[in-house]
Amino acid sequence: MPNIKNRVRNGDGSLDGKTVLEADGVTKTYDSLLPFVGRTVDVLDGADLTIEAGEIVGIVGENGSGKSTLMQILVGALAADDGSVSVDGTVGWCPQEPLLYDRLTVRETFRLFGTAYGMDDDEIVEARDHYAELLSFEQFLDYRVDHLSGGNRQKINLSVALMHDPDVLLLDEPYTGFDWETYLAFWSLTEELTEQGTAIAIISHFVSERERFDRIVELADGELTDVTDEDLAASGGPGSGAAAEAGPQSPGVNAGD
Amino acid sequence: MTESGRAGRVRVGVDAAVRSFLREPVQVAVLLVLPLIVIEGYGYAMTAFPELPFMTESAETMGRLNGAIYAVAFLTGVLGLFQIISAQLADERLQLCGYSRGELFVTRLATVVAASVLVAAVSLAVLAWNVTVEAPLLAFGALAAAALVYGLIGMLVGAILPRALEGSLVLVFLVDADDFLSSGMVDIDTAAVELFPLYHPHNLFQSAVDGSLAGGRALATGAYLMVLLSVVGVVYVRLTGNGGVFGE
Residue A127's alpha-carbon distances to A109, A164, B65, in angstroms, are 12, 8, 54
CB-closest option in A34, A97, A113 to B97: A113
Which residues does chain B have within 8 Å of residue A116's beta carbon, measured at their own beta carbons? 9, 94, 97-99
Q: Which A residues, 28 through 47, put their C-beta within 8 Å of a C-beta on chain B?
A: 33-34
How would DSSP label each residue in B224-245? Answer: HHHHHHHHHHHHHHHHTTTTTT
Q: Give the residue among B50, B70, B69 at the shortest CA–CA distance from B60.
A: B50
The span from the CA of B64 to the CA of B131, in Å, is: 8
Which residues does chain B have within 8 Å of residue A108's beta carbon, measured at their own beta carbons? 16, 19
Q: According to the model, what pLDDT value does residue B244 have?
A: 52
* pLDDT tens, residue by residue, A33-69: 666 666 788 889 999 999 999 999 999 998 888 998 9
Q: According to the model, what pLDDT value does residue B200 have?
A: 92
Confidence of residue B181 (pLDDT cuts 50, 70, 90): confident
Lowest mean pLDDT among A68-72, A205-209, A250-254: A250-254
Q: According to the model, what pLDDT value does residue B48 have?
A: 80
Confidence of residue B182 (pLDDT cuts 50, 70, 90): confident
β-pairing, A178-179 vs A41-52, is unpaired
Angle at CA of residue A122, ends A120 and A127, nearest 5°: 95
Closest residue of chain A to B24, computed from CA coordinates: A103
Q: What is the mean pLDDT of chain A?
A: 83
Per the structure, the count of domains in chain B is: 1
Lowest mean pLDDT among A12-16, A199-203, A220-224, A238-242: A238-242
Other Cβ atoms within 10 Å of A17 Cβ, number: 11
In 3-state terms, what secondary structure has residue B89?
helix
The span from the CA of B243 to the CA of B241, in Å, is: 6
Which residues does chain B have within 8 Å of residue A97's beta carbon, measured at their own beta carbons? 89
Confidence of residue B243 (pLDDT cuts 50, 70, 90): low
What are the residues whose beta carbons fall under 8 Å from the beta carbon of A11, sequence distance 6 or more? Answer: none
Answer whether A189 touches B (CB < 8 Å): no
Answer whether B19 touches A (CB < 8 Å): yes
- H or E segment at A220? strand A215-220
Closest residue of chain A to B20, computed from CA coordinates: A103
Q: According to the model, what pLDDT value does residue A232 have?
A: 55
Give helix B101-128 / helix B88-97 axis angle, nearest 10°. Answer: 140
Answer whether A95 touches B (CB < 8 Å): yes
The span from the CA of B66 to the CA of B37, in Å, is: 13
Q: How many residues does chain B have?
A: 248
Q: Is residue A199 within 8 Å of residue A15, measured between CB atoms?
A: no
Rounded average pLDDT over B18-23? 89
ipTM: 0.83
**pLDDT at position A240 over 60:** no
Confidence of residue B157 (pLDDT cuts 50, 70, 90): very high
The span from the CA of A21 to the CA of A54, in Å, is: 12
Domain boundaries, position B69: 3-239
Q: Give the residue among B86, B208, B84 at the shortest CA–CA distance from A146.
A: B86
**Contact at CB, A99 and B90, closer than 8 angstroms:** yes
* pLDDT tens, residue by residue, B73-114: 999 999 999 999 988 889 999 999 999 999 999 999 999 999
Residue B123 belongs to a domain: yes
Q: How far is B9 from chain A (nearest CA, A)?
A: 6
Q: Is residue A24 within 8 Å of residue A79, measured between CB atoms?
A: no
Q: Give the residue among B167, B159, B153, B163 at the shortest CA–CA distance from B242.
A: B159
H-type alpha helices, chain A: 67-75, 106-117, 121-134, 150-162, 180-196, 232-235, 241-244
CB-closest option in A91, A103, A115 to B24: A103
In 3-state terms, what secondary structure has residue A77?
coil
Residue B77 belongs to a domain: yes
Residue B98 belongs to a domain: yes
What torsion do the CA atoms of A128, A132, A134, A137 make, to the nearest 10 degrees?
160
Closest residue of chain A to B107, computed from CA coordinates: A112
- Mutant choice from A28, A32, A112 vs B, greatest count of B C-beta within 10 A: A112
Give the domain ranges of chain A: 4-89+167-254, 99-164
More confident residue, B48 or A65: A65
Residue B225 belongs to a domain: yes
* pLDDT tens, residue by residue, B204-217: 999 999 888 777 88
- What CATH number does the domain located at A4-89+167-254 have? 3.40.50.300
Residue B247 belongs to a domain: no
Rounded average pLDDT over B122-138? 94
Answer whether B40 touches A (CB < 8 Å): no
Residue B248 belongs to a domain: no
Confidence of residue A160 (pLDDT cuts 50, 70, 90): very high
Residue B245 belongs to a domain: no
Q: Is residue B80 within 8 Å of residue B158, measured between CB atoms?
A: yes
Across the A:B interface, residue pairs with CB atoms under 8 Å apart total 58
- pTM, rounded to two decimals: 0.84
